[in-house]
Structure 1
Amino acid sequence: MKWFKRILLLLILLIAVVVYLNYPKLNIISGYASKYMASSVTIGGHSPAYINQNDLKMPLIELATTEYSEDGASADVYGLLERKAIDRNGLGSVLVNADYKEDQNYLQPNRNKKFDSLPYPMGQLPPKDSLFPEIDYSKLEKAISLAFSNPEVQKTRTLLVLYKGHLIGEKYEEGFTKDTPILGWSMTKSILATCYGVLQNQGKINMDWPAPIAEWKDDERKEITLNHLLRMQSGLEWSEDYSGISDVTKMLFLDSDMTKAQRIKKAIAKPTEIWNYSSGTSNLLSGILRQQFRSHQEYLDFPYEALIDKIGAHSMIIEADLEGNYVGSSYAWANTRDWARFGQLYLNQGLWNGQQLFDKSWIDYIAKPTTNSNGTYGAHFWLNNGENYPDVPKDMYSMNGYQGQYVFIIPSKEMVIVRTGLAEPPAFNANEVLSGIVSAVE
């Protein structure tokens, strides 16, 4: 009997230790689940049942019990640490905390959703039926279908191909259409960078300017420029680990103001000495972008007025944190066709229906390899160093997001390829799919 009591006591102690060590993680888990549920219902248009059965079936995240009601989404893990996310018109969904006041007024961006008489992708009319003699259409169809050939592993949801500004192929899994908004995750970083390109073209900002951070003016961080931040080579401390409690998960699922997380970090190297991918840096840049405007309203309007609605990407929405800062690291949604518009804008070298939104030199800038990134990163865009995509033209660069969201831009082939889904390499063989599509054009 004594041995039984001792074993029982040890078991209780063991459970207590496990709970103690993992209790903070539950906050992140329930935060992720409730935030994702709220956005996927209100923006993505999916049912709560669909989200629970598909998107939230992930290690650890599936431990959460997640529900949706008119008041928003809520999640907890075994009844512990319930988190709630609500929708704010024009700003997307956001996790709330003890500081949130339900009667608090908030600004929202003004949108100008013009529906012109041009065919997609340059306008809102249906795409033209175009046949190119240099395209092997059966080979193209086979390559596109390859991305959907093993759905339980690849988990591809949508795929679209533009060639010379014409839609030549697209495919959607059940439950998704050309109108379904999809979370781009870190593809949002490239949207944020493009905002800087637009400001530069307007003569309002220079990438070599020191970052305008008051806390840095009296220490070594004063040497950090906007260029260093856009290239993730600031030398600032940051942990981008999604498997547990880290800088990035605390920022995304605990912080009311996500622009501060990277701002307060110390320098662990001089600028350019190391390359360290950081979502905190992107949200810091979102905060710096806000500083460029006289009012919060001007900041909220700018991405839509100067870029997003300008190219007709009317399905896009960038979600904001509780303090009204765009979450430039992670939270832009758009349908597949609108994601492709951004690729086409870059193929057009910043020119859209006669208006130069950013200078041609901006493409050379964002596609220039960053020191110490092994040729894989430019300025908030990813590059093809020949290792991950050995059978794809070397000049390809891309917008990349968690779980395999991509906008691939291939200038030498005049192609834009968009793929969205719930799995990334190696589960989804991007090189094989891309090379199959590219090789269909002689």
Structure 2
Amino acid sequence: MKTALKITGILLLIILSFVVYTNYPKLDIITGFASKNVCSCTFIAQRDLTSIESQDNDFSPVFYTKNNINYKNKSVTSTLFGLNPRTAVYKEGLGCILLPENSSAQQISLKPKRNFKPNTAPFPYGDEAQKDTIFKNIDYKQLDKAVNNAFDAPNEKQKRTRALLVIYKDHIIAEKYADGFNKDTKILGWSMTKSITSAIVGVLEKQGKVNRNQFHLFKSWDEDQRAEITLNNLLQMNSGLEWTEDYNAISDVTKMLYQAPDMPKIQLEKPLINKPNQHWNYSSGTTNLISAFIANQFKNKQDYLDFWYTELIDKIGMHSMVIETDFEANFIGSSYGWATARDWSKFGLLYLHNGIWNGEEILTKAWINYTTTPTNTSDGIYGAQFWLNAGGQFPDLPKDLYSCNGFQGQKVSIIPSKETVIVRFGLTEAPEFDFNVMLSGILKAIK
């Protein structure tokens, strides 16, 4: 018996040593991801640790981390087998921020101004319940079947949908949530946040403060060919700048999100490896570079932080939304926008209505048309920080469909020809989750 236990102990030690050895170069990123994600899910989404670890952090090697929550200081420290502690701290208005080495939470002092004034109008333009409406052209049985089919059956763990919301002619016609989630749960949109960043540029252009065709975007680029990169090139992901977007390795994007205190700087310092407008390359670094460009249009960081909320987010009633920042108070416009499914749907409705919100023009129709114009060399799948179906990626869906997309299958789909916005949150994407089937099934119910 003792011999067997000894052998088992040795084997476990060998396995443990192997795991640590093979992942040691990634430790900073692994514990950084764990602490940041647990912190945000705890203090923004108000979820418990058991739920977070069993769902959001349930993949190797992240599920080996130990996560200690300090509720008093609103921080989370994560380690992997006791190694490489990383701490993320929650700051009101800014979300959770990974602390660089030899830094403290006291160095973070800014806070965006918000307008949470209640609006007594019915959804979507206010906070009150929507007016009951039955549409004769909707097959509600077929709609319910399509919605229910997007969720796992009992004891299943494949589709992993958390929220599904269908808006038709400004009315919620279907809404369903997984256990532990509801209409008030803030959910991370991941790269759907890129579309918010694009919209901020659209607001600035409408106000005459920027032009999508301008170049000489950053002083450090003025002495080389990067000076010719336009704002349009950044928005359309075809700047020609070097970037590797690989979440399964130590790459530009993982180093940016989990190691860099100043995230836009990573892409800012990259060389030009292709001619602008000749090579489409998906890059979260590029979106954070756009965020830095936006910051440069203001006298100070406070005005920059306020602008996103006063001129767009709070103006259209997305009061649950929090866009997190890095340590240097740059909005992480590539990845870290949190809001309820209903508030994400409001953003989709703004685009569905060509930039008009309850009678007020927030974005111009020309900006919406620009957003949905395919990027050169993208094969019709990408516009200005939005994904398109112009190339027929989804064969059973209208080609005018376009969407905000995020990691693990977050999606706000806008279908103008059907006057519909569909919001889905989950933990799986293609091929485990078939969006063509889900979306087409819902749209078939609308005659």
- Using structure 2 for the length normalisation, give the TM-score: 0.94
Q: Deviations over 1:382-401 (max 9, x none)?
A: 00145431111110000000
- The reply on whether 1:391 has 2:392 as its aligned counterpart is no
Find the counterpart in structure 1 of residue 169 from structure 2. Answer: 164
After the TM superposition, which of the residue ranges 402-411 and 388-397 deviates more from structure 2? Answer: 388-397
CA distance in 1, matches of 2:219, 2:252: 22
**Match 1:98 to one of 95, 98, 101:** 101
Query: For structure 1, which runs of at least 5 residues remain unmatched after alignment?
Result: 1-11
- The reply on whether 1:83 has 2:86 as its aligned counterpart is yes
Partner amino acid for 2:439?
Answer: L
Find the counterpart in structure 2 of residue 334 from structure 1. Answer: 339
CA distance in 2, matches of 1:390, 1:292: 41
After the TM superposition, which of the residue ranges 115-124 and 314-323 deviates more from structure 2? Answer: 115-124
Q: Deviations over 1:350-377 (max 9, x none)?
A: 1112210010111110110111111110
After superposition, the Cα gap between the structure-2 partners of 1:18 and 1:139, relative to the gap in structure 1 and judged at 3 Å, is closer
Partner amino acid for 2:61?
Answer: L
After the TM superposition, which of the residue ranges 90-99 and 298-307 deviates more from structure 2? Answer: 90-99
CA distance in 1, matches of 2:356, 2:105: 43
SS in 2 for 1:419: strand
Find the counterpart in structure 2 of residue 122 from structure 1. Answer: 125
CA distance in 1, matches of 2:216, 2:346: 30
Instruction: Please report how far the alpha carbon of residue 129 of structure 1 lies from its aligned counterpart in structure 2 after TM superposition.
Output: 0.9
After superposition, the Cα gap between the structure-2 partners of 1:13 and 1:237, relative to the gap in structure 1 and judged at 3 Å, is farther
After superposition, the Cα gap between the structure-2 partners of 1:149 and 1:220, relative to the gap in structure 1 and judged at 3 Å, is same
Instruction: Please report how far the alpha carbon of residue 59 of structure 1 lies from its aligned counterpart in structure 2 after TM superposition.
Output: 2.5
- The reply on whether 1:360 has 2:361 as its aligned counterpart is no
After the TM superposition, which of the residue ranges 181-190 and 72-81 deviates more from structure 2? Answer: 72-81
After superposition, the Cα gap between the structure-2 partners of 1:221 and 1:36, relative to the gap in structure 1 and judged at 3 Å, is same
Find the counterpart in structure 2 of residue 74 from structure 1. Answer: 77
CA distance in 1, matches of 2:14, 2:178: 48
SS in 2 for 1:110: coil
Find the counterpart in structure 2 of residue 22 from structure 1. Answer: 23
Contact 1:211–1:226 under 8 Å retained in 2: no
- The reply on whether 1:63 has 2:64 as its aligned counterpart is yes
Partner amino acid for 1:65?
Answer: K
SS in 2 for 1:441: coil
Q: Deviations over 1:202-223 (max 9, x none)?
A: 1111000115211111111111
SS in 1 for 2:157: helix
Q: Deviations over 1:161-220 (max 9, x none)?
A: 000111111001111010000000000000000001111111111000115211111111
SS in 1 for 2:201: helix
Contact 2:390–2:401 under 8 Å retained in 1: no
Instruction: Please report how far the alpha carbon of residue 21 of structure 1 lies from its aligned counterpart in structure 2 after TM superposition.
Output: 5.5
SS in 1 for 2:111: coil
**Match 1:416 to one of 392, 416, 421:** 421
Residue identity over aligned pairs, in percent, reads 50
Find the counterpart in structure 2 of residue 139 from structure 1. Answer: 142
Alignment of 1:21-420 (within 5 A): 22-70=23-71, 71=73, 72-150=75-153, 151-420=156-425
Instruction: Please report how far the alpha carbon of residue 15 of structure 1 lies from its aligned counterpart in structure 2 after TM superposition.
Output: 9.4
Instruction: Please report how far the alpha carbon of residue 105 of structure 1 lies from its aligned counterpart in structure 2 after TM superposition.
Output: 4.8
CA distance in 2, matches of 1:19, 1:327: 30
CA distance in 2, matches of 1:14, 1:352: 57
CA distance in 2, matches of 1:142, 1:300: 43
Instruction: Please report how far the alpha carbon of residue 90 of structure 1 lies from its aligned counterpart in structure 2 after TM superposition.
Output: 0.8
SS in 1 for 2:190: coil
Contact 1:384–1:394 under 8 Å retained in 2: yes
Instruction: Please report how far the alpha carbon of residue 20 of structure 1 lies from its aligned counterpart in structure 2 after TM superposition.
Output: 5.5
CA distance in 2, matches of 1:34, 1:214: 35
Query: For structure 2, which runs of at least 5 residues remain unmatched after alignment?
Result: 1-12
CA distance in 2, matches of 1:388, 1:96: 40
Q: Deviations over 1:284-322 (max 9, x none)?
A: 110110011112111010010000000001000000000
SS in 2 for 1:251: helix
CA distance in 2, matches of 1:164, 1:59: 43
Contact 2:381–2:393 under 8 Å retained in 1: no
Instruction: Please report how far the alpha carbon of residue 438 of structure 1 lies from its aligned counterpart in structure 2 after TM superposition.
Output: 0.4
CA distance in 2, matches of 1:15, 1:38: 26
CA distance in 2, matches of 1:309, 1:244: 37
Partner amino acid for 1:224?
Answer: I
After the TM superposition, which of the residue ranges 118-127 and 283-292 deviates more from structure 2? Answer: 118-127
Partner amino acid for 2:33?
Answer: Y
Partner amino acid for 1:407?
Answer: V
Question: How many residues in Structure 1 have an aligned counterpart in Structure 2?
Answer: 431
CA distance in 2, matches of 1:242, 1:299: 29
**Match 2:432 to one of 420, 427, 430:** 427
Find the counterpart in structure 1 of residue 6 from structure 2. Answer: none
After the TM superposition, which of the residue ranges 146-155 and 118-127 deviates more from structure 2? Answer: 146-155
SS in 1 for 2:69: strand
Structure 1 stretches of 4+ moved >4 Å: 12-21
SS in 1 for 2:85: strand
Contact 1:308–1:314 under 8 Å retained in 2: yes
CA distance in 2, matches of 1:351, 1:162: 17
CA distance in 2, matches of 1:19, 1:38: 24
After the TM superposition, which of the residue ranges 240-249 and 61-70 deviates more from structure 2? Answer: 61-70
Instruction: Please report how far the alpha carbon of residue 67 of structure 1 lies from its aligned counterpart in structure 2 after TM superposition.
Output: 2.4
